[in-house]
């Protein structure tokens, strides 16, 4: 084949390159014009006043005939998009204020208010937003959110600012919760006016009676019942007459054998007369009731009772009433009720009732809605006490009540051992005496004179004194929490004893309304004395 000369190829290549260059010039000019148009459009969009901006996307469709709740649940919800925009705009509003960009903050605030008003109107009229309304609202808010990004309110900055705001809100929430606890504690400690009135009326009624009617003569069979171990004995230590009346009334009402019930009440000198007056004028069926006052037990003195000696100490009293001014001790542990010996009598039950072998201890903030006869036949398997455990969650284990940094506690007890509840307890008094539980209690109280083993209250020393001596009972026997939390309705319906532990007692105005009715069933508000003091 004949080959072309070298001189004929170069001119062809030059023409091709020249043609390419000619074609590239208009292309580059076109791209430049396009970029200028896009830049100009964005600049115009940002410079247009907020009220004059229009939404360019017409692809949004609003479902017709839906209420605001249905519209929010829709996967393509415009309302949900607006709510999300409002949430983000609120975060940017905080950042704008902190950055001293007050003009932009004002624009955000105005748009947030306008959008909220629009959503409120839609909710009120029960008809979804129109296409025009939603397009305008979403667009106007989107422009502001875009401007926020241009102001470098980026994600990292927003997260940091929002984290600070969350921390601030958590601190405020914690402070408010502490205030609420404090005020609730104060309300729980104060004697309600109605109960004070009730006690005074009882005293007045008692002293209006002729002397013979004020004397109570105990028949021989009555005294025999107080020591008869074939009967069902209960003990209650309280200064609340109405609460004790509810406990006894509910127990006898739901008992299959009320004539076998014997109640041993111990109160203080102030409430002794009104309590005697109330139970002398109100029969509790066939039940036997004994009333004593703690001041009559001469053996309960500071030389024998370590806690009584501590309670008389000025530093201990200052701790209860001022909390040592360190704000580290929760207020619930500084309740002056712990200064009352009535609260500590539960550790001296065998000495209070030396003739008895078994007894059931009841707090005054419980109601009984089942027959309790079977409690007296429960086999405690050699243990001293039967109680319902409260260790379903970690909060109620030993390490939450006791100071395990102290060697005396750390070396003798398991921090994960289950806690249990005072309030309804079956007690084998014979086994108690044999194990010398009261002596164990004294030992630990003496070691805790400086409050280093536990704070205050009766449950921590109870956990120590009865450690390894508690028989677990079926939780249905004792349902807790009606005075501070929500309780499963099925537990309430099946529970034998319902406990209003916590500050919200049913006789207080702060009591939980949903559970007060269970307590009110056993109060006869038609009684003349109650009518004079209680508005029901």
Q: What is the pLDDT of residues 69-122, one digit of tens each?
A: 555 555 567 777 888 888 888 878 888 887 788 888 899 899 999 988 888 877
- The SS3 of residue 292 is strand
For the chain, how many helices (H) and strands (E)? 21, 10
CA-wise closest residue to 239 among 304, 182, 189: 189
User: E strands of 272-390, at which residues?
Assistant: 288-293, 358-362, 366-368, 385-387
Residue-wise pLDDT tens digits, 472-502: 999 999 999 999 889 999 999 999 999 999 8
- Where in the chain are the domains? 69-189, 193-533
Q: Is the pLDDT of residue 15 over 70?
A: no
Which residues are CB-contacts of 229 (< 8 A; sequence separation ≥ 6)? 355, 356, 357, 358
Say yes or no to pLDDT of 214 above 90.
no
| pLDDT tens for each residue of 234-292 | 999 999 999 999 999 999 999 999 999 999 999 999 999 999 999 988 888 889 999 99
pLDDT of residue 479: 96
Average pLDDT, the chain: 80
**Residue 313 or residue 84, greater confidence:** 84
Report which of 371, 357, 319, 338 is spatially closest to residue 459, judged by C-alpha positions. 338
Q: Which of 152, 133, 151, 6 is CA-nearest to residue 71?
A: 133
CA dist 424 and 422 (Å) reads 6
Which pLDDT score, from 0 to 100, does residue 447 have?
Answer: 93
**Verdict on whether the full-model pTM lies above 0.85:** no
Residue whose pair of structure tokens reads 């209860």 in the numeric block: 320
Read off the pLDDT band of 126 (50, 70, 90). low
Q: Are 480 and 500 in contact (CB under 8 A)?
A: no
Structure tokens at 143: 């422009």
For residue 8, what is the DSSP state?
G
Q: Using CA atoms, how far apart are residues 307 and 449, in angstroms rounded to an integer?
A: 8
Of 305-314, 381-390, 435-444, which gets the smallest average pLDDT?
Answer: 305-314
Q: What are phi and psi of 219, to 5 degrees?
A: -70, 155
User: Distance (Å, rounded) from C-alpha 422 to C-alpha 380?
Assistant: 16
The number of angstroms, rounded, from the C-alpha of 121 to the middle of its chain's C-alpha atoms is 37
Say yes or no to pLDDT of 157 above 90: no
Q: What are phi and psi of 131, to 5 degrees?
A: -60, -40
Exposed e or buried b per residue across 444-482, where buried means at least 16 C-beta atoms within 10 angstroms of its C-beta: bbeebeebebbbbbbbbbbbbbbeebbbebebebbbbbb
> What residues are paired with 261 via a beta bridge?
232
The predicted structure's pLDDT at residue 243: 96
- Cα 25 to Cα 18, 37, 38, 412, distances in angstroms: 11, 18, 20, 92
Q: In CATH, what class is 193-533? A: alpha beta
pLDDT, position 154: 62
3-class DSSP assignment, residue 366: strand
60-69, 73-82, 345-354: segment of lowest average pLDDT: 60-69
Whether 397 and 415 have beta carbons less than 8 Å apart is answered as yes
Q: Which residues, in sequence order, are CB contacts of 412 under 8 Å at separation 6+?
A: 467
| pLDDT for residue 27 | 55
Interatomic CA distance for residues 164 and 480, integer angstroms: 38
Token couple for 32: 């430049």
Mean pLDDT across 131-145: 85
Question: Cβ(48)–Cβ(112) under 8 Å?
Answer: no
Q: Are 108 and 93 in contact (CB under 8 A)?
A: yes
What gap in Å lies between CA 389 and CA 401, rounded to an integer? 14
For residue 367, list its beta bridge partners: 498
Is residue 516 predicted with pLDDT exceeding 90?
yes
Which helix (H) or strand (E) segment holds residue 273: the answer is helix 269-281
């Amino acid at each position: 084949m004949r080959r072309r000369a070298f001189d004929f190829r170069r001119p062809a290549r030059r023409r091709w390159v020249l043609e390419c260059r000619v074609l590239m010039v208009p292309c580059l000019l076109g791209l430049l014009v396009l970029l200028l148009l896009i830049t100009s459009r964005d600049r115009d969009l940002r410079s247009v006043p907020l009220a004059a901006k229009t939404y360019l996307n017409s692809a949004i469709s609003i479902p017709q005939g839906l209420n605001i709740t249905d519209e929010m649940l829709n996967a393509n919800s415009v309302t949900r998009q607006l709510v999300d925009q409002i949430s983000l705009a609120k975060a940017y509003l905080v950042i704008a204020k902190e950055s001293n960009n007050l003009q932009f903050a004002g624009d955000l605030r105005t748009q947030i208010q306008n959008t909220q008003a629009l959503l409120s109107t839609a909710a009120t009229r029960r008809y979804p937003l129109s296409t025009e309304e939603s397009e305008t609202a979403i667009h106007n808010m989107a422009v502001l959110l875009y401007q926020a990004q241009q102001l470098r309110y980026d994600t990292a900055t927003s997260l940091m600012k929002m984290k600070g705001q969350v921390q601030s809100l958590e601190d405020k929430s914690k402070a408010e919760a502490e205030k609420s606890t404090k005020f609730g504690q104060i309300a729980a400690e104060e004697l309600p006016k109605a109960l004070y009135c009730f006690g005074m009326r009882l005293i007045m009624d008692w002293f209006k009676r002729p002397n013979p009617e004020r004397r109570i003569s105990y028949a021989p069979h009555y005294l025999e019942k107080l020591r008869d171990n074939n009967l069902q004995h209960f003990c209650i230590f309280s200064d609340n007459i109405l609460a004790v009346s509810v406990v006894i009334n509910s127990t006898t009402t739901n008992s299959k054998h009320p004539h076998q019930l014997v109640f041993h009440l111990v109160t203080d000198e102030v409430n002794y007369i009104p309590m005697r007056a109330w139970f002398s004028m109100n029969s509790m069926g066939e039940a036997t009731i004994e009333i004593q006052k703690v001041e009559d037990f001469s053996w309960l003195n500071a030389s024998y009772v370590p806690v009584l000696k501590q309670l008389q100490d000025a530093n201990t009293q200052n701790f209860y009433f001022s909390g040592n001014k360190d704000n580290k001790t929760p207020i619930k542990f500084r309740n002056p009720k712990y200064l009352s010996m009535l609260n500590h009598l539960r550790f001296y039950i065998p000495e209070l009732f030396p003739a008895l072998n078994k007894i059931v201890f009841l707090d005054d903030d419980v109601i009984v809605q089942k027959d309790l006869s079977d409690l007296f036949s429960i086999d405690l398997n050699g243990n001293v006490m039967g109680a319902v455990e409260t260790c379903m969650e970690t909060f109620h284990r030993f390490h939450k009540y006791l100071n395990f940094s102290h060697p005396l506690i750390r070396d003798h007890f398991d921090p994960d051992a289950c806690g249990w509840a005072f309030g309804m307890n079956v007690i084998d008094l014979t086994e108690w005496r044999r194990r010398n539980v009261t002596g164990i209690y004294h030992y630990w109280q003496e070691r805790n004179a400086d409050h280093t083993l536990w704070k205050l209250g009766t449950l921590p020393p109870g956990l120590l004194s009865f450690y390894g001596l508690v028989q677990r009972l079926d939780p249905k026997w004792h349902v807790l929490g009606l005075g501070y939390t929500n309780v499963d309705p099925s537990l309430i319906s099946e529970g034998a004893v319902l406990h209003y532990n916590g500050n919200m007692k049913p006789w207080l105005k702060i009591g939980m309304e949903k559970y007060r009715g269970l307590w009110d069933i056993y109060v006869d508000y038609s009684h003349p004395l109650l009518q004079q003091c209680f508005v029901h």
